Amino acid sequence: MTLITGYLAIYGVRQIPYDFPNEWGVIIPVLIVVYIITTWIDGLIFKDETPESTPATVKKKKSKKAQKKSNGFGD
């Protein structure tokens, strides 16, 4: 989607009847705005819907091995 809209933005800037002294000075900000808008729209369309209770359902496994306490060096 970003590629298509970026191409259309470049095409649209070049179709403007005004002759810019520096065409890239216009195209680069237009492409930045197009990128920001398309990533925002992609985020709205392809949103990952994860349930909020996910951390509550995932439980940590407790180790049942007895842990040995060390009393010093070499124990």
The verdict on pTM exceeding 0.85 is no
Amino acid letter, 73: F
Count the helix, strand and coil residues of the chain and give each as a percent rounded to the nearest 5: 55, 0, 45
User: In this predicted structure, which of 2-6, 13-17, 63-67 has the lowest mean pLDDT?
Assistant: 63-67
For 2-13, write each residue's pLDDT tens digit: 889 999 999 998
